[in-house]
Amino acid sequence: MKKIASVFCFLTFLWSALAAQDAPGFRFGFQASPTWSWMRTSDKKLEGVGSNWGLKLGALGEYYFADNYAFLTGLGFGFNQGGTIQNGYEMASLWTNSDLSEEKFKVVEREAKLHYRLNYVEIPFGLKMRGGSNEDARMKFYAEVPVFTIGFVSKAQGDIRGSQDKNTEDEDIRDDVKGLSLSWGLGGGIEYELAASTTLVAGLAYQQQFTDVTDKGMVQKNVGDAFVEEKSKGTFGLIAFKLAVFF
């Protein structure tokens, strides 16, 4: 985390310096974007049933290689991403590696809900296109396609709900969540030029993870059966209400 924080500080300083010097084609900004995320798995008996409200905060940079075409990147934080998975097996042990507050929480019964709350350090990169009624228009429309995001888990907490005697909150499940996340996305919206060097941005962005967020667990399919390894792939999707300001 210290290395990541150092990189974030360096990029923030670099982008600020470029913006202050009116570097040709470069814009620097910040976002504070509410998010809504959900989880799903490739196993029908591990069903996604809940969602999370969260937030994206961070620095953004755009380099315009043509009048209305830019490379975009940034460095930020995604808070409270994830969702809820409901167990459809007789018994399941999906948080097997984590040091939970009580050993009994490692095995849950049918219909118990496992709530994931994940924080990420994120690096997006992609292409942006924009246009308006004319070149001098203060309001323009934009599209970001495609956008790829590399994420590193900084914190992972989980809750167990819907269980008779195994409900718990704020468990550290970092050891049962993959540390690296890769996702793709797209977005669009409007930007409004307040002044020559200040632009407000508002839009929607969709992000879909394509790497597995969950580690392997064990499940019992029927009463009395031995536990077997479950090999499902768990991913999250996300919609961000993008709010940003560029300088």
Half-sphere exposure of 69 (CA within 13 A, CB side): 3
- pTM for this prediction: 0.87
What is the distance between the alpha carbons of residues 166 and 101, in angstroms, rounded to a whole number?
A: 11
How sure is the predictor about 138, in pLDDT bands with cuts at 50, 70 and 90? confident
- Percentage, residues of the chain above pLDDT 70: 89
**Sequence-ordered list of residues with C-beta below 8 angstroms from that of 53, at least 6 positions apart, any chain:** 34, 35, 36, 80
Domains of the chain: residue spans and CATH? 2-246 (2.40.160.20)
Mean pLDDT of the chain: 90
**Sequence-ordered list of residues with C-beta below 8 angstroms from that of 77, at least 6 positions apart, any chain:** 56, 57, 58, 119, 120, 121, 122, 154
Cβ atoms of 83 and 48 within 8 Å: the answer is yes
What is the distance between the alpha carbons of residues 33 and 60, in angstroms, rounded to a whole number?
A: 12
Strand, coil or helix: what is 1? coil
Tell me how far apart the 2 most distant CA atoms of the chain are, in Å: 72
Token pair in block for residue 91: 């018994």
Q: Could you give phi then psi for residue 145, rounded to 5 degrees?
A: -150, 125
Strand, coil or helix: what is 29? strand
State mean pLDDT over 93-118: 94
* CA distances for 50 relative to 147, 166, 234, angstroms: 25, 19, 14
How sure is the predictor about 163, in pLDDT bands with cuts at 50, 70 and 90? confident
State mean pLDDT over 104-128: 96
What is the distance between the alpha carbons of residues 172 and 117, in angstroms, rounded to a whole number?
A: 10
What is the distance between the alpha carbons of residues 59 and 210, in angstroms, rounded to a whole number?
A: 24
Predicted pLDDT at 133: 66
**Lowest pLDDT segment from 133-137, 183-187, 230-234:** 133-137
* CA distances for 140 relative to 44, 172, 192, 197, 233, angstroms: 43, 44, 7, 15, 40
What is the distance between the alpha carbons of residues 176 and 139, in angstroms, rounded to a whole number?
A: 46
Q: What is the pLDDT of residues 234-243, one digit of tens each?
A: 999 999 999 9
Render the burial of 111-136: b for 16+ CB within 10 Å, e for the rest.
ebbbbbbbbbbbbbebebebebeeee
Facing residues of 116 across strands? 83, 158
Closest CA to 81 of 47, 125, 122: 122
Q: What is the pLDDT of residues 47-59, one digit of tens each?
A: 999 999 999 999 9
How sure is the predictor about 21, in pLDDT bands with cuts at 50, 70 and 90? very low
